[in-house]
A and B are shown apart, each in its own frame.
Chain A
């Protein structure tokens, strides 16, 4: 969970990109890394991938945003490996997450993969006694530029029963990537500030 360091005037938070294999989690981070500018500063991106460029363990991208009340806000962005067999790794990467993006593949062929991955996210959080609804959480409907995609209302019906913010994206083109990230960052910062101000921790 978050740490607030009064000595260095830093707030550190961890964001995790979750979703089925090949849905575009790594692409989101690559685009953020490539296009960071202005108030957003990124460090080096680390990818632990297989020779076929599938995520093996995680991708990591450190990012710093503008100051909030005199504190530098630093986010560690992680992706989990989407492939079903890497569940042990997903559990490890999820530990201590302050916010989650669920990246869904909009194609009709991926209905079941999306549902399985979302359930897997809930199960892995439950293993640490956390409910998804308790965390700042957004959904990204990716691959909206492909021809065989589900309508957004149907994706909402399938994946967004809680009615959390959902964003359409075409990650390789950068469409929706920053919108997803910046809104999640806002929710996480608000959540951290609320927790600390109300003494809810």
Chain B
């Protein structure tokens, strides 16, 4: 799995935000974050209250990478998702394409099967948006950062 540079335009960010907002609306989850496999958040929606988003992302990426290595030891290429069940809150992390993860934190307001199903639906939309962004990132000969003429 390779991890590439990514430029996210305003339009991409808006589409990702909308996609995650729809995911929350459809499932009732408390919080969802789209992140790169390097551990940086790309988009987030929901109620994160006092949660430290940077730490949450770093630990999620670590947990997922660990599960992936476990999968390979067990003869699988990867596990597509991991699920941590708590007493009140649960965490579901699923692979989006090859290099992104969708983290979801939810409680009794949402059901795990619905979260799994809708996460797959959301992943398809996210992949479409990110595929376009990666293609643009690779193809563009870019103007200096911040001068607004990078497209």
Q: A residues engaging B (CB < 8 A)? A: 1-8, 11-12, 14, 43-44, 46, 48, 57-58, 60, 62, 68-71, 74, 76, 78, 88-89, 92-93, 95-98, 128-129, 192-193, 195-199, 201
CB<8 Å pairs between A and B, sample of 8: A1-B5, A3-B38, A5-B13, A7-B14, A46-B58, A57-B66, A95-B3, A196-B142
**Chain A: CB-nearest residue to B10:** A7
Interface size class of B (residues with CB under 8 A): 35 or more
List, in ascending order, chain B residues with CB within 8 A of A95's CB: 1, 3, 37-38, 65
Residue B140 is within 8 A (CB to CB) of chain A in the complex: yes
B84 at the interface (CB under 8 A from A): no
Min CB gap B99→A, angstroms: 8
When the two chains form their complex, are residues B62 and A76 in contact, meaning their CB atoms are under 8 A apart?
no
Chain B contacts for A44, CB-based, 8 A: 52, 54-55
Whether B42 contacts A128 by the Cβ 8 Å rule is: no
Contact A43 B145, beta carbon cutoff 8 Å: no
Instruction: Note all chain B residues with C-beta closer than 8 A to A88.
Output: 69
Rounded to whole angstroms, the CA-CA distance of A62 and B6 in the bound complex is: 19
* A71 → B minimal CB distance (Å): 6
Q: What residues on B are CB-neighbors of A76 within 8 Å?
A: 38-40, 54, 58
- Are A43 and B52 neighbours in the complex by a CB distance under 8 Å? yes
Q: A1-B5, A95-B65 are in contact. Are A74 and B40 (CB under 8 A)?
A: yes
A interface footprint on B2-19 (CB within 8 Å = 1, 0 otherwise)? 111111111011100000
- A46/B10 in contact, CB under 8 A: no
Residue among B12, B55, B69 making CB contact with A62, cutoff 8 Å: B55
Q: Is B137 close to A, CB under 8 A?
A: yes
Q: A7-B10, A96-B39 are in contact. List 12 more A-B contacts (CB 8 A).
A: A1-B5, A3-B8, A5-B42, A6-B7, A6-B13, A12-B36, A69-B144, A76-B38, A92-B69, A95-B3, A96-B37, A197-B145
